[in-house]
Chain A
Amino acid sequence: MSQKSTIPFGPQHPVFPEPIQLRLVLEDEKVVEALPAIGYCHRGLEKLAEKKDFLQDVYLIERICGICSFMHSMNYCQGIEELLGLPVPDRARFLRVIWAEVHRMHSHLLFLGLLADSFGYENLFMQCMRCREDILEVMELTAGNRILLTTCCIGGVRKDIPADQMDQILLALDRVGEQLVDLRNAFSNDYTVKKRLIGVGCLTAAQAHESGAVGPVAKACGVALDLRETGYAAYKELGFKTITETAGDSYARMMVRLRELDQCMELVRKAIQLLPAGPISTPFKGNPTGEVAARIEQPRGELLFFIKGNGTKNLERFRARTPTFANLAPLLQMLPGCQLADVPIIVISIDPCISCTER
């Protein structure tokens, strides 16, 4: 019986873009237990959201996370709209889908890049980042900013996308599509990728269900869990279908995102095609009253906001449960039994977003 040793993994670690600590209990090179230590990124945003005006909160809540920022503001706006009983114009619903899917693409490409980087495939990381720049260009073109779009507002969207910009988006999607052919080839056929990902960090469907996995982590085990199926915004008209894989390992999680990229492009193209004319936002008066649980599918899984209004301009309670928080429990089930050298890959394969988790 070998001696057990504990290794602090993080908070400052080359593979982590964000600070989280995993205390790994090792038996030689084998992980027997993993304990997360969080709080390095906690700001206290939920409390601040109660202090600020509910209109200002749109900008604050967008900054829960920089990677999936548009989804946060969209979910918050949808929640407040439900409280106010505010109808959203059709055009705004479609524009929201376009921005949301563009955001999902940039997030997934970033994930693929970071995953490649985590097993030392720097070339592939650079290819992914180059491909991602085309997406960021679209965001800058349509919203004026590369990361934080701030285009969503309560009652619709703040900005319209004119027809000439739509053409630019389609051209950018074509460019991305061309690059994705190479990326897909590398990710699905490359010897290094297969060797490092297949059979690493396995999770069964039962485990995923039990531990409450969401998003690509659940989808990679065959659990078809995607909130876009509920048809919020314009997903109903666009005919969305969840993508699943069955293996449940890191490779399957990567494949889900790779396949979702194609789906995102299809959704954006379809949304541009079906985009109705009309106003982009509904003016409103009054303050939100009552409580609502707003849900949305983020790149990483289900995002849940609980919003409670009391008829004043300040919210009584704002609570966010983000997908990475839900995916931490499955992560702790994947780690025991793996090699220490595989820990970075498994952690990155759930696409952790710590600033979301800790708010």
Chain B
Amino acid sequence: MKDKVRFDKSPWVVHFNCNSCNGCDIELLACLSPLYDLERFGIVHVGNPKHADVLVVTGSVNYRNARVLKNVYDQMPHPKVVVAMGVCAATGGVFRECYNVLGGVEKVVPVDVFVPGCPSRPEAMMDGILQAAAKLDEKRRNPDVPVAVSTDTVVRLPAPEAARPALPADTASALATPMEKIA
């Protein structure tokens, strides 16, 4: 870490808990507490994605929250950076083999900084957020940097066949009908 941390603007953080076990989330709360005090770098935790520059995601992506994560990311103004907190956000972690887990958050949003740990320690989290803030400054200074976009292909993926219980014949045919036709 550099001797002095200085950013162009004060980076505001929005946190989204994807599929996390809470371990990383409470450590992120600890970062805000007086002992670690993330706010001394001008980093403020906000609830509205439209106010935020940094998106902190904890936990992996599942079939239900992928759309929500994409929504939160898309609502944030450019330039923006994403920090994937903990191993679950990186790869799915200990839950990677679960039937409802798609994997790391990179399947839905482009990630700039990965922070390891289960759960990550507050020191590592702060380092990750500071690195992300430095990247944010970089993006702001170079408007030529291509804008990263979220992907929506993964959201439409069907659940793996093996995880689904066998359905009765009539239900199965009803489900096979495309959504537009039912509506």
Contact = CB atoms under 8 A, between A and B. Distances in A.
Contact of A42 (B34, B62, B97): B62
Interface stretch (B3-11, B12-20, B108-116, B132-140): B12-20
B33 interface: yes
Interface stretch (A8-16, A152-160, A255-263, A332-340): A8-16
A83 interface: no
Contacts of B20: 18, 41, 66, 355
Given A66-B25, A129-B32, A130-B35, A148 B100 contact: no
A44 B30 contact: no
B94 A44 contact: no
A146 B35 CA distance: 14
B22 A355 contact: yes
Interface in B9-60: 16-27, 29-30, 32-35, 46-49, 59-60
B119 A18 contact: no
B45 to A, nearest CB: 9
A129 B30 contact: yes
B7 to A, nearest CB: 23
A17 B100 contact: no
Nearest to A49: B98
A51 interface: yes
Contacts of B64: 39-40, 42
B118 interface: yes
A299 to B, nearest CB: 12
B98 to A, nearest CB: 4
A18 B98 contact: no
A40 B65 contact: yes
A67 B25 CA distance: 9
Nearest to A134: B35
Contacts of B94: 59-60, 63
A347 B121 CA distance: 28
> Which of A43, A51, A126, A148 has the most chain B CB atoms inside 10 A of its CB?
A43
| Interface size class, chain A | 35 or more
A36 interface: no
B72 interface: yes
Contacts of B100: 42-44
Contacts of B27: 146-147
A19 B68 contact: yes
A69 interface: yes
A110 interface: yes
Nearest to B15: A17
A65 interface: yes
B163 interface: yes
Contact of B23 (A11, A40, A59, A63): A63
Interface string B61-72: 010110010001
14 contacts: A11-B65, A17-B25, A42-B19, A42-B100, A48-B95, A60-B94, A67-B23, A69-B23, A126-B33, A130-B33, A130-B34, A130-B35, A132-B33, A148-B118
Which 5 A-B residue pairs are closest in the complex by CB-CB distance?
A14-B47, A66-B23, A129-B33, A66-B22, A44-B98
Interface of A: 11-15, 17-19, 39-45, 47-48, 51, 59-60, 63-67, 69, 110, 113, 126, 129-130, 132-133, 136, 146-148, 353, 355
